Amino acid sequence: MKTLLSTLIACAALHAAAAECIVPSKPGGAMDLTCKLAREGLKGEAGAPALRLSYLPGGIGAVAWHSMAAQRGSEKDTLVAFSGGSLLNLAQGKFGKASANDVRWVAALGADYGMIAVRSDSAFRNLADLLDALRRQPEKVLIGVSGTIGSQDWMKMALLARGAGIDPKVLRFVALEGGGEAFTAMHANHVQVVSGDASEATLYAGAGKVRVLAVLSEQRLPGVLSLAPTAREQGVDVVWPIIRGVWMGPKVADAEYQRWVGSFDRMTSSPDFSRLRAAHGLYPFTLTGQALTDYIHKAVADYNRQARQFKLIR
């Protein structure tokens, strides 16, 4: 009986110590990678609870946002992954009346970059091939994006098109739920192009399944995508960095919020974290707590200005 009681107590303690990282999309995309990076990184953090992943797709992040901000806002051990796309949605009002003040921003774990990919057997060998096809017969090229008009994947392709003298309004986009679904659709030839993120492409490019036509970074990226040219190299001056991190509900107590901020401060400064971040396809960019919150507010304002330039909002 004592053994059974001890086992039950131990299991209860283990369950109580578990924390959750919510992925606001289907499995397989960059949001998934963000939570997995947090889970792996926190394993070496003394006193940090084990992190389990759960998936809450819908509305390109809106379902998870409203669920946590309005209904689960005081949960002290629940994190939610976010990206630059989340901030863009906020800037465009796609989360309704939500604002950057509605949640507590915990940590940015790294940076990603936009990229444009096709299947490895595609007739498009480089960015110029794709842009030529879009200029001549845009109706024949379906572009898979995570989100709808105005999403960050839409914006990447729209900026490239505009830079090449093509009206983004003539492009044919297919709205999908997350990067994993976009790549799945491309492999099934439901779309011919994916506008997505470099971290997502690393999952497929290494296996020879996709050809990355352009990365939207200042310089070529190291690792799996080292042979992929930048858009700038190919004559189109578009750079699209994407931060990735986690936030918490707005009613989490200050002490609990600071506990998580401290855990991520220690995690991201550890010698092993750079290697772990690179293994998850991300590049150096770390902010926590108030410094991250300040960055978020500026980024949302910048995205709002950009959206107005495309007349996505008034």
The stretch 281-294 carries a mean pLDDT of 94
- Provide the β-strand partners of residue 240: none
Q: Over 50: is that where the pLDDT of 2 sits?
A: no
> What's the whole-number average pLDDT of the chain?
90
Q: Are strands 241-248 and 78-83 parallel, antiparallel or unpaired?
A: antiparallel
> In the predicted model, what is the mean pLDDT of residues 289-306?
95
Ordered structural domains, the chain, with CATH: 2-112+241-309 (3.40.190.150), 113-234 (3.40.190.10)
**61 falls in which pLDDT band (50, 70, 90)?**
confident
Residue 304 backbone dihedrals phi, psi, to 5 degrees? -65, -40
| Averaged pLDDT, 192-216 | 90
Residue 44 has pLDDT above 80, yes or no: no
Cβ–Cβ under 8 Å, residues 113 and 212? no
- Which token pair is 190? 């439901």
Residue 16 confidence (pLDDT): 43
**Looking at residue 216, what is its pLDDT?**
97
Q: For 142-284, where are the E strands, in sequence order?
A: 142-146, 172-176, 193-197, 210-215, 241-248
**Who's near 144: CB < 8 A, 6+ residues apart?**
173, 174, 176, 182, 183, 185, 186, 190, 191, 193, 194, 195, 196
pLDDT of residue 200: 85
Task: For residue range 217-247, list pLDDT tens digits in order.
Answer: 999 998 889 999 999 999 999 999 999 999 9
* pLDDT per position as a tens digit, 244-270: 999 999 999 999 999 999 999 999 999
Cα gap 9→295, rounded to integer Å: 43
- The whole-model pTM stands at 0.78
Is the pLDDT confidence value at 8 over 50? Answer: no
Question: Which residues, 6+ apart, have CB-to-CB distance to 293 below 8 Å?
Answer: 100, 105
Question: Of the segments 3-12, 129-138, 281-290, which one has the largest average pLDDT value?
Answer: 129-138
In this structure, are residues 288 and 108 in contact, taking their beta carbons and an 8 Å threshold? yes
Nearest-angstrom CA–CA distance, 158 and 169: 8
Between helix 254-268 and helix 30-42 the angle, nearest 10°, is 90
Q: What is the pLDDT of residue 274?
A: 93
For position 114, what pLDDT does the model report?
95
Task: Say if residue 70's pLDDT is above 90.
Answer: no
Helix (H) or strand (E) holding 302: helix 289-309
Looking at the chain, the whole-number percentage of residues with pLDDT higher than 70 is 94
268-294 mean pLDDT: 93
pLDDT of residue 17: 57
* Confidence label for 15 from pLDDT (cuts 50, 70 and 90): very low
